[in-house]
Amino acid sequence: MAELDLTLDHVGVAVASLDEGEAAYRRLGFTLTVRSIHSGSVTPGGPVIPWGSGNHCAMFRDGYLEILGITDATLHNSADVLLEKYQGAHIVAFGSGEGDAAHAILSQRLEGVAPPAALERMATFGPDDSESKLAQFRNIYVDRTSIPEAKLIFIEHVTPDVLWQPHLLDHPNGAVKLAEVALCVPDKADTCARFTRLLGREPKDMSPEFSAYEMERGRVYVLSEKGMAAWAPGVTPPALPYVAGFGVEVTDLAATRAYLEGNGVAVHDHPYPAIWVEPEFTNGPVVSFIQG
């Protein structure tokens, strides 16, 4: 049994142009927050300083999506190292409760789990964006030598009310929940061995090419290259490992399909009650819409 309750908190997509990324996800029917500039400590316990990256977020009733990009190339930022690999989804973040308690558990499971680091950014607040409030987080980062599959974060939300504002939760595409993230990896058995230790739970082996980790909310799929080809035919990973895509639950799949097609976005059917959109329209990841 897992010692730590985990939820799929958010997925982050790194884009070469934040303007183009914003336009792409608005076209997909996501309500996005006003652009926010990052600041944070570069090292655990270090001072909070301005960064040269910013984001837009799509807030769901459960979880959220982050679109991030470089805003000032002269400053430390959280996007350039990701974009060197590929444009697309990179960040997989789990809600893990109080940071110090989570770190005490996670650091015993796997090497390379850093102590919580402070991160903050100013966010507009209120239905007319007339106020600004400080959004604060404590992030536990996992070294990429231990988990190369994604930029893996375990997060404590210090100010959740600043992010989950009621007027941000309604989306033209009907999205209500961040439901899943998919990783395509060169060696599924090796990835699952490390994820099992870190997450403190066993995967469900749905096929030799496809495994799933169930969180207290949301799930993580681990796909082989063959599994990826069956799941999203025609999509070639730009690199391995690869955060192949993410999925959101929607209230009415037929309405979501109509909305996307009305915006000129091509959709494809999954073999389960869901549709998916190819990287051409998403700045990198496969984006799935699942009947809730």
CATH code for the domain of 270? 3.10.180.10
128 plus 43 within the same structural domain: yes
In a domain, 267, yes or no: yes
CB atoms within 10 A of CB 272: 8
Same domain for 157 and 186, yes or no, is: no
* Predicted pLDDT at 1: 46
**Separation of alpha carbons 279 and 243, rounded Å:** 12
Q: Do 29 and 154 belong to one domain?
A: yes
Residue 104 and residue 182 share a domain: no
- DSSP character for 142? B
pLDDT on residue 133: 93
Residue 35 and residue 162 in one domain: yes
Q: Looking at the structure, tell me whether residues 186 and 275 fall in a common domain.
A: yes
pTM: 0.93
Q: Which H/E stretch holds residue 220? A: strand 219-223
Residues 278 and 235: their CA atoms lie apart, in Å, by: 7
CB-CB contact of 282 with 265 (8 Å): no
Residues 163 and 180 in one domain: no
* CA-based torsion, 5, 8, 10, 16: positive or negative: positive
Query: Which of these, 2, 23, 6, 28, lies nearest to 263 by C-alpha position?
Result: 28
Per-residue pLDDT of the chain (292 residues; tens, 9 = 90+): 468 999 999 999 999 889 999 999 999 999 999 998 877 777 777 888 888 888 999 999 999 999 999 888 888 887 888 999 999 999 999 999 999 999 999 999 999 999 998 888 888 999 998 999 999 999 999 999 999 999 999 999 999 999 999 999 999 999 999 999 999 999 999 999 999 999 999 999 888 999 999 999 999 999 999 999 999 999 999 999 999 999 999 999 999 999 999 999 999 999 899 999 999 999 999 999 999 9
Q: Do both 126 and 217 map to the same domain?
A: no
SS3 231: helix
**155-186 burial code (b ≥16 CB/10 A, e <16):** bbbeeeebbbbeebbebebbbbbbbbbbbbbe
* Per-residue tokens: 249: 């639950």
- Residues 158 and 195 reside in one and the same domain: no
Whether residue 28 is found in the same domain as residue 154: yes
What pLDDT does 2 receive?
64
Counting the structural domains of the chain, the total is 2
Closest to 37 in 3D by CA, of 69, 80, 2: 69
* Side chain identity, residue 53: S
Domain that holds residue 268: 175-291
Place of tokens 């909310």: 217
Distance between CA atoms of residues 52 and 78, nearest Å: 8
Residue 149 and residue 181: Cα distance in Å, rounded? 12
Helices (H) and strands (E) in the chain, counts: 7, 16
